[in-house]
């Protein structure tokens, strides 16, 4: 069961009957089953920006309480831009990927300086903001400004490919730019908001990467992947889930060490510890080391210094000869 070549994907527009069924079934499912998420009850572009940055590589359940806390601490884009970086990081912790806190404040400051404090309402202008990519720009103009635009994140990419193009069995697969072109072709007229949210919900709850719940899927009868993998002789009925799991397993990155042994883990530990200190207090590396690593040795000082120097370069800490602290600017 070979997939078509990349060049032929865009000549394979879905049949009108399939597209009509998918539009109707998915939007009907979303109307009844959508997740009640706080950023879906607002058209505030700033709130949507915050939610989209937080949701990058982070599960919704972890984002929910932090989103509410962050919006309470910095209710407007102007508040975020004016806050100290240390305060922004302190509120962000322990959500993880702390560079996102620096990035979102940088975006806020750029908007205050160059756009009069109002986030632009076009993809072209949003892409001029450092730290905003095509997906986030699309989410803001669609969810805040009600524009008819397509967007592609991991969930949307997977769902559209499985429904319309078939199983992702060949490498290399479609790039995000190629999938964006396809997503624009299947966007239902006047329904971009619900459609994009529905694709993300389906990918997050049913059409998941390694454990798709095909029996519960509202698009099963219109899904090319389900049809092909159920009927093809090598994949008799009843083995669809197992085959999709095998595909997902091949795409899983190989983990050659536990997360708690990685530099990213210790970077987070450093920031977490600095957040627990009184404002402005520096801690020498010789005292910081045992706080973040149980079996810290003198030989680890060079490694720790390299971590701190990288954090300083990223803007997450202020490092000087006398020690390290959260940045104040």
- Pick the residue with more confidence: 315 or 4? 315
What is the reported pLDDT for 1? 40
156 and 223: one domain?
yes
Query: DSSP secondary-structure letter at 325?
Result: E
Among 203, 231, 251, the domain boundary falls at 251
Q: Is 289 inside a domain boundary?
A: yes
**CATH number where 138 lies:** 1.10.340.30
Please write the tens of the pLDDT for every residue from 78-125.
999 999 999 999 999 998 889 999 999 999 999 999 999 999 999 999
The question of whether 52 is a catalytic residue gets the answer yes
Q: Is 12 inside a domain boundary?
A: yes
Measured CA angle at 297 (ends 293, 303), to 5 deg: 75
By residue range, what is the domain housing residue 199? 6-35+150-251
Q: Is 1 inside a domain boundary?
A: no
d(CA 54, CA 95): 8
What is the reported pLDDT for 170? 52
Among 143, 160, 177, the domain boundary falls at 143
Instruction: Please tell me the total count of domains within the chain.
Output: 3
Q: Do the Cβ atoms of 274 and 282 come closer than 8 Å?
A: no
224 and 84: one domain?
no
Catalytic choice (52, 124, 168, 171): 52
12 and 99: one domain?
no
225 and 271: one domain?
no
239 and 111: one domain?
no
Q: Is 155 inside a domain boundary?
A: yes
Crossing angle of helices 285-292 and 301-313, rounded to 10°: 100
Please write the tens of the pLDDT for every residue from 191-219.
999 999 999 999 999 999 888 999 899 99
168 and 29: one domain?
yes
Please write the tens of the pLDDT for every residue from 144-185.
999 999 999 999 999 999 999 888 765 556 788 889 999 999
Give 46's pLDDT tier (boundaries 50, 70, 90). Answer: very high
Among 199, 223, 251, the domain boundary falls at 251
Q: Is 240 inside a domain boundary?
A: yes
156 and 30: one domain?
yes
Please write the tens of the pLDDT for every residue from 16-44.
889 999 999 999 999 999 999 999 999 99
Q: Is 93 inside a domain boundary?
A: yes
Q: Is 98 inside a domain boundary?
A: yes
d(CA 168, CA 323): 50
What is the reported pLDDT for 249? 54
Average confidence (pLDDT) over 284-306: 89
């Amino acid at each position: 069961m070979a997939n078509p070549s990349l060049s032929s994907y865009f000549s394979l527009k879905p049949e009108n009957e399939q597209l009509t069924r998918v539009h109707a079934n998915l939007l009907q499912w979303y109307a009844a089953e959508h997740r009640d998420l706080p950023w879906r009850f607002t058209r505030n572009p700033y709130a949507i920006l915050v939610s989209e940055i937080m949701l990058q590589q982070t599960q919704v359940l972890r984002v929910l309480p932090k989103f509410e806390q962050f919006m309470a601490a910095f209710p407007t884009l102007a508040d975020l831009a004016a806050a100290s970086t240390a305060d922004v990081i302190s509120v962000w912790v322990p959500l993880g990927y702390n560079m996102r806190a620096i990035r979102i404040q940088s975006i806020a400051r750029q908007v205050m300086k160059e756009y009069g404090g109002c986030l632009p309402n076009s993809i072209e202008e949003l892409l001029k903001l450092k730290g905003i990519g095509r997906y986030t720009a699309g989410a803001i103009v669609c969810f805040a400004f009600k524009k008819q635009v397509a967007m592609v994140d991991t969930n949307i990419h997977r769902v559209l490919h499985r429904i319309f193009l078939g199983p992702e069995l060949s490498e290399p697969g479609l790039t995000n730019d190629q999938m964006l072109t396809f997503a624009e072709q299947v966007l239902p007229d006047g329904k971009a908001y619900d459609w994009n949210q529905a694709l993300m919900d389906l990918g997050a709850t049913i059409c998941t990467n390694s454990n798709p719940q095909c029996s519960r899927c509202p698009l099963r009868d219109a899904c090319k992947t389900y049809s092909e993998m159920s009927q093809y002789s090598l994949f008799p009925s009843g083995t669809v889930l197992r085959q999709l799991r095998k595909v997902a397993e091949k795409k899983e990155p190989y983990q050659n060490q536990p997360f708690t042994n990685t530099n990213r883990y210790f970077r987070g530990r450093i920031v977490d510890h600095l957040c627990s200190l009184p404002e402005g207090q520096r801690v020498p590396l010789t005292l910081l080391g045992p706080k973040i690593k149980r079996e810290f040795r003198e030989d680890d000082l060079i490694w720790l210094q390299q971590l701190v120097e990288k954090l300083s370069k990223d803007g997450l800490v202020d490092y000087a000869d006398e020690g390290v602290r959260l940045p104040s600017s």
